[in-house]
Amino acid sequence: MRRLTVPLILAAVLGLLVTLAQGGGLDLYTQSVLMFMGINVIMSASLNLINGHMGEFACGHAAFMAVGAYVSSLITVALFAQDTVFGAPLLPESLSVAFFPLALLAGAAVASLFGLLVAIPSFKTRGDYLAIVTIAANYIVKSAIENIDAIGGARGFMGMRRVTTAMESTAELPWMLIWCFVTAVFCVWVIRRYVTSTYGKGVMAICQDEVAAEIMSVNTNRIKLVTFMLSSGLAGLAGGLFAHVVGYVNPGSFTILKSTEAMVMVYMGGMGSISGSVISAVAFTLLLEALRPLQILKWVIIPLILILLMMFRPEGIMGNKELSDVFPRLKKYFKFK
Amino acid sequence: METILQNILNALQWGSFYSLIALGYCLVYGVLLLINFAHGDVFMVGAYIAFFVATFFLGHYAFALPFDLPGWAILALSVPLVMILTAAVGVTLERVAYRPLRRKGAHRLYVVITALMCGLILSNGNLALLGASRRNFPELIDKVIFDFGWIRFTNLKVIVILTAVLVFIGLRLIVTRTKIGMAMRAISWDKFAIPLMGIPVDTVIVFTFILGSSVAGLGGLLFAMSYPILDPYMGAMVGWKAFIAAVVGGIGSIRGAFAGGFLLGFVEIMVVAVFPSTFRDLISFTILLIIMTYKPTGLFGMARTTKI
């Protein structure tokens, strides 16, 4: 029982969501909010791996999201949709469900290759200098996409809507909701496994003191490389989902403001706490939606809330703890090995 | 040949703005080790204050001066006024947002996040308060074009470049030659031992913010005069880039910030001169990334050895 409680709960939640969405209990707006929640969970948990667990200050996470979004949507549109760039679909619609996760993973793989752009300078550079490298990487990726005219340039790229309808016509299910949920759970699981593995111990060691870790025979370069690539790859997954949920991407959606959102979620949740970043991602998405009627004032009130949070509880919602540290009885329900 | 000289002149002007903002970043970073991400937006606020001050003296509001002031007089009046008001904004930020956190001894990164949020509040608050309409800065001084046959420049360009150089020399003199400059350097050296020496740390930090913000205000005024269209987000982009310039120069070193600003200006203008202008960010940031990979602490920065 102890091993199965969490998977059973997650499966039950997914089943409930799918039945509600099929039965009309969830309108499209609620569904899209739920999907953005999943995407934000991935973004904040994966950025927390760098900023929280490894203690580096990365502020260009949206770049990897952009790479993942573009690569995966290019693949799916080329395979399954009638498009002006690629022409007729290459594969029959019935395969779309099977190929969608592969396209997402391909986007993630390319995004993690772009993570090298940040990882290699990070061997020598640290602290505030690394912050610059990440900002520069964000600008470079955004500006590179703007300059490739074949994929729409600054005008953006669309056609993903046809892919989602292709999936829905294959099997009548709210596919994007399912993918968002599954990917978010997968991402949290991967990060959890990674952080508690031997590599994860090295990540913590880098956070405490990089020089000391190096002396204690931790291969810091290798751990940094793996961590940056993993984190940016997961951000690429988030990007692929984002592109297919919205049905349209343009370079303008992956600016520093998007990276700032991810950073807000990380610091609101607490550094180095996976459950904290999940909770704060959910809370932040709900907050964004609740404040939507205020329009531009929204972006005055959210920073204000965060400043107040920093002032009265600088360590964020969960601090450096997990949910099971705050409520020790939860440990009864899951086993982690 | 002529276009090259002309481009160099443009680059000098463009680089002066980056330098002026980078100097502010660098002062605050040097003393507090805090990346003041709100600085770009303080620059934007400076430009807006300059707009309101200038139109006030031109009599665009209910109050009108009994006599018409000539343009240069308005400029002479606005410069100190804009610098004082912008410094007030900077000091308010320090008092309201950064000082309570510093008192609590919060981690440096939390202060950085607070600064980022203050910047967002400034730019979006401006948008909510004043609306999205862009404003046209009035022309205060007549444009004089000096023509030497092989090179032409306006008086405004000369003013901007001269101001940047003068501000640089002034700041360097303040930091290296005066008592309060010595206190600033001392705080950056050891924050915990300095109060024991009887140095009023808070006063020195407020003074640093006054210096940085007033320079940003001056930069805003000059920017509004050179590119007379104001919008609430103009600070964000310039601010990020000036920060990058400060780091490439080696953050914390005044000489580095000055040189980094001009370097970034040169790279951007030269890229635009050779390639289509959409490639500006791509190429200039790639160059900066390469510089950072080979000189990890910037051009003038010193590598710090960490003790364990």
B240 contact A CB<8A: yes
Give percent helix, percent strand, percent coil of chain A, each to the nearest 5. Answer: 80, 0, 20
Query: Mutate which of A296, A297, A304, A320 to disrupt the B interface (most B C-beta within 10 Å)?
Result: A296
Task: Specify the pLDDT at position B221.
Answer: 92
Predicted ipTM of the assembly: 0.82
Q: Which of A307, A311, A312, A320 to mutate to test the interface with B (most CBs of B within 10 A)?
A: A307
Q: Which of residues 6-65 of A touch B (CB under 8 A)?
A: 51, 57
Please give the Cα distance from A256 to A267 (Å, whole number): 16
Beta bridge partners of A158: A248
Mean pLDDT of chain A: 87
Interface mutation vs chain A, best among B107, B113, B130, B290, most A CBs within 10 Å? B113
Residues of chain A numbered 130-169 and touching chain B (CB < 8 Å): 131-133, 135-137, 139-140, 142-144, 146-147, 154
Judging contacts by C-beta atoms under 8 Å, the chain A residues touching residue B280 are 143
pLDDT tier at A104 (50, 70, 90 boundaries)? very high
A249 bridge partner residues: A157
Q: Give the containing element (helix H, strand E) for B172.
A: helix B155-177
| A300 touches B at CB < 8 Å | yes
Q: How far is B174 from chain A (nearest CA, A)?
A: 26
Distance CA B153, CA B3 (A): 12
Partnered with residue A132 across adjacent β-strands are none
Is the pLDDT reported for residue A66 higher than 60?
Answer: yes
Q: Cα separation of B43 and B308, whole Å? A: 39
Across the interface, whether the CB atoms of A300 and B124 are under 8 A apart is answered yes
Q: Does A267 touch chain B (CB under 8 A)?
A: yes
Kindly indicate the confidence band of residue A21, based on its pLDDT and cuts at 50, 70 and 90: confident
* Of the partner residues B121, B248, B289, the one whose CB lies closest to the CB of residue A304: B121
pLDDT in tens, A274-324: 999 999 999 999 998 998 888 788 888 888 888 888 888 878 888 788 888
Average pLDDT over residues B276-282: 82
Q: State whether B285 and A211 contact (CB < 8 Å).
A: no
B153 and chain A in contact, CB less than 8 A = no
Residues β-bridged to residue B145: B154
The pLDDT value given to residue A135: 86
Position A233 scores a pLDDT of: 95
- B116 reaches A (C-beta below 8 A): yes
Distance CA A295, CA A257 (A): 16
Nearest chain B residue to A133 by CA: give it: B289
pLDDT score recorded for residue B70: 79
Chain A CB within 8 Å of residue B109 CB: yes
Mean pLDDT, rounded, for A226-248 = 93
**Are A303 and B118 an interchain contact pair (Cβ–Cβ within 8 Å)?**
yes
Q: How far apart are CA A244 and CA A69, in angstroms?
A: 8
- Assess B128–A contact: CB distance below 8 Å, yes or no: yes
- pLDDT value, residue A28: 86
For A243, half-sphere exposure in the C-beta direction (CA atoms, 13 angstrom radius) is 37
CB contact under 8 A, A139 and B281: yes
pLDDT on residue B157 = 87
Three-state secondary-structure class, residue B219: helix
Which residue, among A18, A162, A191, has the nearest Cα to A83 in the 3D structure?
Answer: A162
Cβ pair B244:A132 closer than 8 A: yes
Task: Give the model confidence (pLDDT) of B74-103 as tens digits.
Answer: 888 889 999 999 999 999 999 998 898 888
pLDDT higher at A47 or A82: A47
pLDDT for residue B308 is more than 60:
no
pTM above 0.95, yes or no: no
Cβ-Cβ contacts under 8 Å for B107 (sequence gap 6 or more): A314
Q: Give φ, ψ of A158 to 5 degrees.
A: -135, 180
3-state secondary structure of B244: helix
Q: State the pLDDT at residue A184.
A: 94
Contact indicator for B272, B14 with CB cutoff of 8 Å: no
Q: Are residues A211 and B308, on separate chains, in Cβ contact within 8 Å? A: yes
Stated length of chain B: 308
Instruction: For B229, list phi and psi in degrees, rounded to 5.
Output: -120, 125
Mean pLDDT, residues B272-288? 83
Integer Cα distance of A202 and B292 in angstroms? 25
Of B110, B240, B286, the CB nearest to A135: B240
Triad A183, A100, A62: Cα angle to 5°: 55
Dist CA B205 CA B213 (whole Å):
12
Q: Do B227 and B132 meet the contact criterion of CB atoms below 8 Å apart? A: no
Tens of pLDDT, residue by residue over B201-254, are 889 999 999 999 999 999 999 999 888 888 888 888 888 888 888 888 887 788
pLDDT classification of A151: cutoffs 50, 70, 90: confident
- Phi/psi of residue A197, nearest 5 degrees: -85, -175
Average pLDDT over residues B151-180: 89
Instruction: Report pLDDT digits (tens) over A2-12.
Output: 778 888 889 99
* Structure confidence at residue A70 as a pLDDT band (50, 70, 90): very high
Of A163-167, B65-69, B118-122, the poorest mean pLDDT is in B65-69
How high is the pLDDT of residue B292? 79
Check CB contact under 8 Å for B308 and A215. yes
A264, pLDDT greater than 70: yes
CB of B120 closer than 8 Å to CB of A260: yes
Across A84-93, A166-175, B228-237, least confident range: A84-93
pLDDT at B64 over 70: no
Query: What proportion of chain A, given as a percentage, has pLDDT over 90?
Result: 33
Chain A contact set for B109 (CB, 8 A): 51, 57, 267, 271
- CA-based nearest distance B166→chain A, Å: 28
